[in-house]
Structure 1
Amino acid sequence: MKVLLVDDSKTMRNIQKSILTQLGVTAMEEACDGLDALSKVNSFSPDLILLDWNMPNMDGLTFIKEYRGSGATTPVIMVTTEGEKSRVIEAIKAGVNNYVIKPFTPDVLNQRIKETLAKAQAA
């Protein structure tokens, strides 16, 4: 499985990489914001994207709108501090498949990844 990590925090990307490595994921690409992610996503062809909301240059919501607008169907999990119900709904309407609120435990992230991939395979 190939995972694209999109977060402006190097520390958060390292935490996600550590959890994903424990889950057996070996192919990971990192992007520091939405623009960086757009430049890498097609050549990397991830099976899953973990996406932060609040980033410079291009935030996660703008990224998901552009990415989905291109016809892409790769599952995306928003991993963010934005926990208000209206924000969660806004992100889901824009095309994210699941949502994890920071801070999170490895178990929560693992569960969301499994849920999201199972739904994507069923679709």
Structure 2
Amino acid sequence: MGNRILIVDDAAFMRMMIKDILTKNGYQVVAEAENGAVAVEKWKEFRPDLTTMDITMPEMDGINAVRAIRQVDPNARVIMCSAMGQQAMVIDAIQAGAKDFIVKPFQPDRVLEAVRKALA
């Protein structure tokens, strides 16, 4: 099986879209989370090779979740997902330790390129 991935987004539809792109291309989605707090717990439980993380979510946003995950493992690989017009947040995310970011609505080629790059 391919690399193990955790998908984090508060919108079930977005999680489904990313999961579809990844599983069709040989990646294994080991878990999903609907907010940053759940993401940190799932990350600790599954230790995925890569996490896709939405930025704007209830309870704990993606940037704080990345910081929390990277406190546990400084080498954790995270790709941020954001809607258009969130450039300042994307910069915060990269500074928090994200490897890359992809913009919604998702373009399958861009998602796969970011995943391949982050896992390289």
Measure the CA separation in 1 of the matches of 2:25 and 2:73: 29
Would you say 1:115 and 2:117 are equivalent positions? yes
Measure the CA separation in 1 of the matches of 2:9 and 2:88: 21
Contact 1:82 1:88 in 2 (8 A): no
**4+ residue stretches of structure 1 with deviation over 6 A?**
none
Equivalent in the alignment of 1:46: 48
Identity of aligned residues (%): 37
Would you say 1:92 and 2:99 are equivalent positions? no
Q: SS of 2:20's equivalent? A: helix
**Number of residue pairs matched?**
118
Contact 1:8 1:31 in 2 (8 A): yes
Equivalent in the alignment of 2:83: 81
Contact 1:38 1:63 in 2 (8 A): yes
Shift of 1:90: 1.3
Shift of 1:84: 4.0
Question: What is the RMSD of the two structures over their aligned residues, measured on CA atoms?
Answer: 1.4
Shift of 1:83: 3.9
Q: SS of 1:78's equivalent? A: strand
Contact 2:7 2:33 in 1 (8 A): yes
When normalised by structure 1's length, the TM-score is 0.88
Unaligned runs of 5+ in 1: 119-123
Measure the CA separation in 1 of the matches of 2:110 and 2:47: 25
Shift of 1:97: 0.5
Q: SS of 2:6's equivalent? A: strand
Letter in 1 for 2:116: K
Unaligned runs of 5+ in 2: none
When normalised by structure 2's length, the TM-score is 0.90
Letter in 1 for 2:21: I
Measure the CA separation in 1 of the matches of 2:9 and 2:71: 21
